[in-house]
Every structure is written in C-alpha cells, then in structure tokens.
Structure 1
Amino acid sequence: MIEKYLETLNDRFKNFDIEYRKQAYIDYLKYPEPTYRESPDKKTYVNITDKELERMAYGELSVSIKKEEKVNEDYDLIVTDSDFIIKKNRKDVYISNMKDAFAQKKDLFEKYVDTEMGKYNREYLINFSYENGYFIYVPDNTKAELKIESLQDSNASFTFKNVIIAGKNSSVEITDFYNKHNNGNGVHGRNIYIFCQENSNIKYNYIQDEGSDTVNITYVRPVLYDNAEIRIIDVNTGAKKVFYNHESEMHDNTTMKSYGVNVSRNDQEMDIWDSSLQYGKYSNCNINIKGVVFDRSSTMHRGNIDIEPEGIKSSGFYGSAIILMSDSGKGNSKPALLIKNNDTKSKHSSSISSIDPEQIFYLRSRGLSEDEAKDMIINGFLGYVEEITDNEFLKKIIKDVLRL
C-alpha cells in the first residue's frame, strides 16, 4: 500500500530532494481525496482506483523505447520516463532534468521548486514520488520558443514533475506534446509548474494524445507575479481515463487566458478542470473549454472563478460547451463563481447539446453527405483554438491529434 511507501524513500531517492518529498508525503496522508461529488451524475466523473494510484507512485519504468526511436529534429527536448535528450543546445535558456537542476541550480530550485506543494491529494502524491522531469529557466529580458516531446510508454507507470521559470520581462512560447508510444495500460502522473515573473509573457501549449488504455493524471499550476500574462492552449484526446486540472494563481495586474479542446471516443472518460485563484488587484481571467463526445465516452467540465477578498477590481469568466455525437455518450458541466468581494466582474456559461438537425439539413442541401456535414460542424466548433495562434507547428500537431 502507498501508506507504507515512506519506508522505501531513502533507498529510492537517496539525497534527491528528500525533505520536500517527506512533506509532500505528509500532505498526501493529511488531505485525502474527497469522496463527495458536486453533481449527482457520478458516471461522468473519472474513477481512478487506489490500485492505479499505487502503480503510478511505485513506478514501472520503460525498457521498450530505444534511443533511435527518439530522434526528432523538430524538438528542442525529447523526454521519456527513463531518458532525457536535449536535441538542441541553447545558450539563451537553461534546460536540464530535475536531478541535474537540483545540483546545478540550487538557488532557483529552493526558491521555486521546493516552495510549491500544490493543494490536492493526488498532486501531493506526484510531488512525493516523482522520478524526474524537465527544468527550464528563461533568464530576465529573454525571448525564446521551445518545443518538447514527451514519449509516453503505454506499458510504463511513472510520475514526473516539470518546472518552467520565466524571468522578468521575458517572452516565452512552449509547446509541450505528450505523445503515445505503443499499447498498454500504464498510469502516468505529472505536475507542471510555471512561474511567470514580473512583466513576463508566456504562451504554454499542452497537447495530450496518449495510448488508448492508459490513465493520465495531470496538474498544471501557473503562478503569475505582478503584471505577468499567460495564454494556455490545452488539447486532450488520448488515454482511457483523463484527469486534467489547471489552476492559475494570479497576483496584481495579471492576465490569464485559457483555451481548451477535448475529444473523447469509445469508452474514454475525461474530467477537465480549469480554475483561477485571483489574489491580486486588477487581475483578469478568461477560460474557454469545448468538448466533443463520441460513442460511449464521457466528458466532465469543471471550473471555478475564485476571486479572493484582496482581489478588488478583478474580473473572471468561465465558459464551457459540449457537443454529444451519440445517444450513449455523456456530458456534464459544473462551473462555479467563488467571489469573495463585491468590487469585481464575473460570469459563467455552460451548454451541452447535440448537433442541430437544421444545420445538417442546410449543409446537405449544399451537396455534402451527412458525415461530411457533421465533420464540418465539429471542425468549426473546435477550430476556434487554431484561430488564436499563428504558430503553424502547433496547428499541425492539433490537427493531427484530433483526427477529425
């Protein structure tokens, strides 16, 4: 059982971040996963079992991804559960695995990495047991673009912790592609922490297309210091069970824009949770998420606009839309406004529907087949995420993984 796992801590990690891991383990035991559900429709929640969490925490590392399979010149960095390859040597940014950063960037590690514990049970578990991960530091006044491919061995189970630190007045775009490799029922957990220092501008693109029988648990936690901006594009379409949680911590005069797309097929289960945590004055949050449900799959959209008492003159919006493409598919949406002062602007919207038959009829009257008409409507529905970026590399990946 995971409860007995602390006994192996020293043997497994030796001196690698041991005190932080001990605290994460204490928090994991201290704050169990809530058993209640906000909605009576429990079938739309992703049920991740204790056995799956145990497999994830103990780890079953890959032996099947060979080095020659990891050569892709489009990327700056190739990551697997058991290897780490920097494809392009960069003088403008620091790129390493977490173990090297622990030794080489001790001051940054202690200031940023070891101060972020998270707030959820499974997030604590990942912080306690993570095997490795990438560490990226973009110095002050630097403009950079990075492309990362993580090859996810479907047979393996593991936890990763990834950290991005963007310095003051920096401008950074990172495309972070979690790509499937082979077939299997592995359990993959990862925490992604993004620290946006003062006046930085970050574009973070998260694309997940893992194996069809895997379990994926991901926490994305940006921290925006004063006057920072972040734009997040997240695309989820792979894995049998998907739990994706994004929560931005926002301080004075910060802006966060989040655009999400998810497509579920067959028996996939997806729980997509996007939230703001607005501490600062004049913070502005805009979250938009769209999903398409095929076959017997299910999708849950959850999101909180959380404006704290000190977050005066702030604004927040959460919007969710789901299209059901079959009678046996399920969709659920649970937006919430948690407003703790009366000098703010906030709103939310939510819709779940099937395709309007009149739209199908209109397109068929123009010579399209029924399937072609449906494809055109879905592509138009999801295509908004491509319209907000001029990154052609990103557009190609999104088009390839959505397979529409």
Structure 2
Amino acid sequence: MSTELFDTFNTDYINTYSEQHNEPEWLRAQRLKAIELAETLEMPKPDKTKITRWNFTKFSHQSTSEPIDSFDQLPDSVGKVIDQGKAEQNLVILRNQENQFSELPKELKDKGVIFTDLFTAANEYPELVEKYFMTDAVSVDEHRLTALHAALVNGGVFLYVPKNVVIEEPVQAIFWQEDKDLALFNHVIVVAEENAQVTFVENYISDHEETETVANVISEVIAKDNAKISYGSVDHFAYGTTAYMNRRGVAGRDATIEWALGQMNNGNTISENITHLLGDQSVCFAKAVSVGVGDQTQNFTAKIVNHGKHSNGIILQHGVMKDQASAIFHGIGKIERGGTKANAEQESRVLMLNKDARGDANPILLIDEDDVTAGHAASVGRVDPVQLYYLMSRGISKQEAERLVIHGFLAPVVNEIPIENVREQLTDVIEGKVY
C-alpha cells in the first residue's frame, strides 16, 4: 500500500481530527496506536482473490456537506426506505458520515435504550462505548484494514438495549454517501443485554458511480445470555467504491443472532460475516444474497464457530452473477472441542446468467468434536431450462420466466428483511442489477 496514505493520515492528522470531534481520550489514544500498527501490518489475503491492485488509498476522509432541514430534502434513493409519515420512529440518518436525523421514542429512552451516531455516543457514554469498541468481536491488529479502520473511523451508530428490554419496532440506520470522494470508515455496534430483543436494519446508499473511493465497514454485534438480535442490511455502494465489509457476532448462552444481508455493491468487495456461538444453546442463522454485474470481483465469507454445547449454526448464501462478474462464496462451519451436540449446516448456491460470469461455492467444515451433526450443500450452475420451459409453457415470456426464477432463488433472504420499505428497496436493487 502506498506510503502516501500514511504521509497524509499521520499522527498530526489523527490528533486534529479527534480534537475536532471532541473525542474522549481513550478513542484518540486508540486511533494513534492503530495508525502506527497499520504501517506494519499486512493486508488481508482472502482465499482465491487477489486484491493487490484494488484501490484502498484514493479517498477523502472528511466532508463539508450542509445539514438538511426536513425529509423533503432527501433524494428518492433515501426517502423511499423510510416511513416519512410515521410520528415517531427508531431512526438515524448519516449523510456523508454526519448525523442529519436522529430519533428514538421517549418510552425507549426511559428504559435505558441508546441509539445515536457513534461520535455522540462516545461523548455521552464514553465508558460504555469503550467497553465494546473493537474488544469482543473485532481486533484492531487483525490486519492493515482493521487497523486503518480503527485509526480513521469517521462515522457509525451505537445501539444499546438494556436487560429485559424488548424493542418491538425495527431500529433503522441509513448511511447515505453523497460526497463522491468520501470514504466511509463506518462502525456499527449493536449490544443486547440479557433477555433483550431488537431488530436492526441498515442501508448503505451511494449517489455516485465512477469516482474511486473506499468503504471500510465494521459491525460488532453482541447478544448476551438469552438475548436476540436480528440484523438486516442492504449494501449498495457504487461501482467506483472498493468495499471491505466486516460483520462479526458474539452470542452468549441461549442467545440468537440472525443475519439477513443483501450484498448488492457494484464495485469490488470483500465481505466477512463471522459469528462465534460462545454459549450453550446459542443459535445463529446467517443468510445472505448477492448479485454481481459488470466486471466486478467479490469474495464472500460466512463463518459460524460453535463453542457452546447444543449450539446451532446455519449458513445460507445465494448469489447471481451476470456479465463478466465473478464471486467466491466461502461457507465455513467450525465446531470447537467441547461443543458437544452442536450443529453446523451450510448451503451456498450460485446462479450464472452469462457464459462469462464466474461463481465458486467453497464449503468447509472443521470439526474438533465427536458428538455433533454437520452438513453442507453447494452448487454452481445456469438457470434451470426445465423451470424456464415449465413457466413458458404457461404463456410467460422467457425474460419474465427467468425473472421469476431469479427472484425465487433469492427470496429466502429478501423475505427476511423486516422493514417493508427496505425489503422493497432490495427487490428494486436486484431488478436494476439483473435487468
């Protein structure tokens, strides 16, 4: 990686940036330590994908966008994924990493729920944010991209649900990248204490196409004993954005983490979704869909590590590749010694729409315990001509028949998105990429 990056983002820059945001001392100190580490650490090496020529250095770190006054000023790409007529909602909107709108009903605030942008949370709840920021789920020193993230994080949200609190309505965060040069070093923390429940949905939306920039995103999801977190996302970065998406989960005893990820970026992407089932009877359902177009290259890893007894990890990945796009889907189920009666299941399937499209499903099971169950399924192929013939024999055109097959192929994840407007957005994105 070019040394020019570290000439620009050095200790002087970090100190100035931290002071401008009135950050607590622990965060400034971590930034300084991380930028030193970043110079010494190697880049990640995703299996079967070379990223040495990918852009991780051309970007702007700060934006000077003006604040918006009302929802009427939102573009259609943002406005259509929120319920603008709702009186109160659990919603944060970041425009170019600046908090433009933040709302949480008083009833939830009175119960101790925290939902705000990351910088506000770091200022108002410094000890709580420090407890969870890159401690339990993601480490700063894993590789150069995690260290750069810790040094340059410029936005994100913090969601904290206290013990025994159940949030009925979904909590939504929108990360709107309007500035064409701005990099998103975005950090999301979701914590559900014992017996708590929450559904969190996020949207990454770019309003530009060609300019080269970077998205370095880390999400840390912590479900304490008997807690449940449902996490939905629609990623839709533009063609010029190189994306590193790192989502990690940690589940305690009897806890559940559910992932429903719509991975719809138009640029080159590395995506890791890793969950550690630490507690007995803990559960993770990791579902993801992806659509690749143009000449983009994508590398997806879904991994569940069973530590606890009777823990249950299920992975489902479906991808559709078009044009000259290529993608590799790694499904990794690992059962650690001591995880007796654990279950690890996975399914990865790739549908290719063109002769030049490429897909690879790579199932891996790593079992260090005897008394367990595990299984995997993987397939790569074209649209089934028998299905097309059946539909066309009932008067449906070939294009519409192919469309129905693709939507049915992706439906297991699309239908899991809990907010109707976001679910419709994901469907629209799929339509736009495939046709």
When normalised by structure 2's length, the TM-score is 0.83
1:29 CA displacement: 4.9
> Given the alignment of the two structures, is residue 131 of structure 1 paired with residue 158 of structure 2, yes or no?
no
Matches within 5 A, 1:168-317: 168-183=194-209, 184-252=211-279, 253-317=281-345
Task: Tell me the distance in 2 between the aligned counterparts of 1:33 and 1:334.
Answer: 22
Q: Is the 8 A contact 2:260 2:416 kept in 1?
A: no
Q: Once the two structures are superposed, what CA deviation does each residue of 1:371-396 show, in whole Å capped at 9, x if it has no partner? A: 11211111111112244466433422
Task: Tell me the distance in 2 between the aligned counterparts of 1:290 and 1:213.
Answer: 24
1:351 maps to a residue whose letter is S
1:366 CA displacement: 1.7
The residue matched to 2:425 in structure 1 has which SS?
Answer: helix
User: Which residue does 2:114 correspond to in 1?
Assistant: 94
2:192 maps to a residue whose letter is A
1:242 maps to a residue whose letter is T
> Given the alignment of the two structures, is residue 163 of structure 1 paired with residue 209 of structure 2, yes or no?
no
1:108 CA displacement: 1.4
Task: Tell me whether 382-391 or 98-107 shows the greater mean CA deviation.
Answer: 382-391
The residue matched to 2:145 in structure 1 has which SS?
Answer: helix
Count of paired positions: 395
> Given the alignment of the two structures, is residue 396 of structure 1 paired with residue 424 of structure 2, yes or no?
yes
Please point out which of 176, 179, 189 is paired with 1:151. Answer: 176
Q: Once the two structures are superposed, what CA deviation does each residue of 1:104-156 show, in whole Å capped at 9, x if it has no partner? A: 21231232225244344422321222123211111222222212211123432
User: Which residue does 1:7 correspond to in 2?
Assistant: 11
User: Which residue does 1:42 correspond to in 2?
Assistant: none
1:206 CA displacement: 1.0
Matches within 5 A, 1:368-387: 368-387=396-415
Task: Tell me the distance in 2 between the aligned counterparts of 1:28 and 1:226.
Answer: 35
Please point out which of 358, 363, 381 is paired with 1:353. Answer: 381
Q: Is the 8 A contact 2:223 2:250 kept in 1?
A: yes
The residue matched to 2:381 in structure 1 has which SS?
Answer: strand
User: Which residue does 1:33 correspond to in 2?
Assistant: 43
The residue matched to 1:206 in structure 2 has which SS?
Answer: strand
Task: Tell me whether 351-360 or 227-236 shows the greater mean CA deviation.
Answer: 351-360
User: Which residue does 1:141 correspond to in 2?
Assistant: 164
1:227 CA displacement: 1.4
Task: Tell me the distance in 2 between the aligned counterparts of 1:254 and 1:331.
Answer: 32
Task: Tell me whether 62-71 or 241-250 shows the greater mean CA deviation.
Answer: 62-71
Task: Tell me whether 137-146 or 320-329 shows the greater mean CA deviation.
Answer: 137-146
Task: Tell me the distance in 1 between the aligned counterparts of 2:36 and 2:181.
Answer: 29
Task: Tell me whether 288-297 or 65-74 shows the greater mean CA deviation.
Answer: 65-74
User: Which residue does 2:367 correspond to in 1?
Assistant: 339
Distance 1:19 1:172, change over 3 A: same
Percent sequence identity over aligned pairs: 21
The residue matched to 2:58 in structure 1 has which SS?
Answer: helix
Please point out which of 12, 30, 43 is paired with 1:20. Answer: 30
Distance 1:148 1:336, change over 3 A: same
1:232 maps to a residue whose letter is W
Task: Tell me the distance in 2 between the aligned counterparts of 1:61 and 1:3.
Answer: 16
In structure 1, the gaps of 5 or more residues are: 40-44
Distance 1:388 1:191, change over 3 A: closer
User: Which residue does 2:86 correspond to in 1?
Assistant: none
Task: Tell me the distance in 1 between the aligned counterparts of 2:323 and 2:274.
Answer: 30
Q: Is the 8 A contact 1:46 1:241 kept in 2?
A: no
Task: Tell me the distance in 1 between the aligned counterparts of 2:177 and 2:381.
Answer: 33
Task: Tell me the distance in 2 between the aligned counterparts of 1:169 and 1:27.
Answer: 38
Q: Once the two structures are superposed, what CA deviation does each residue of 1:319-371 show, in whole Å capped at 9, x if it has no partner? A: 10000100111111222112222222222221100112232222222212221
Task: Tell me the distance in 1 between the aligned counterparts of 2:338 and 2:101.
Answer: 42
Task: Tell me the distance in 2 between the aligned counterparts of 1:243 and 1:3.
Answer: 22
User: Which residue does 2:124 correspond to in 1?
Assistant: 104
1:239 CA displacement: 2.7
Distance 1:106 1:157, change over 3 A: closer
User: Which residue does 1:78 correspond to in 2?
Assistant: 93
Task: Tell me the distance in 1 between the aligned counterparts of 2:395 and 2:412.
Answer: 25
Task: Tell me the distance in 2 between the aligned counterparts of 1:293 and 1:255.
Answer: 30
Task: Tell me the distance in 2 between the aligned counterparts of 1:342 and 1:245.
Answer: 28
Distance 1:158 1:179, change over 3 A: closer
Q: Once the two structures are superposed, what CA deviation does each residue of 1:273-306 show, in whole Å capped at 9, x if it has no partner? A: 1111222222110010000001111111112112
Q: Is the 8 A contact 1:61 1:158 kept in 2?
A: no
The residue matched to 2:103 in structure 1 has which SS?
Answer: coil
When normalised by structure 1's length, the TM-score is 0.89
The residue matched to 2:387 in structure 1 has which SS?
Answer: helix
Please point out which of 20, 41, 51 is paired with 1:47. Answer: 51
Q: Is the 8 A contact 1:127 1:191 kept in 2?
A: no
1:48 CA displacement: 5.7
In structure 2, the gaps of 5 or more residues are: 84-88
Distance 1:386 1:211, change over 3 A: closer
Distance 1:339 1:24, change over 3 A: farther
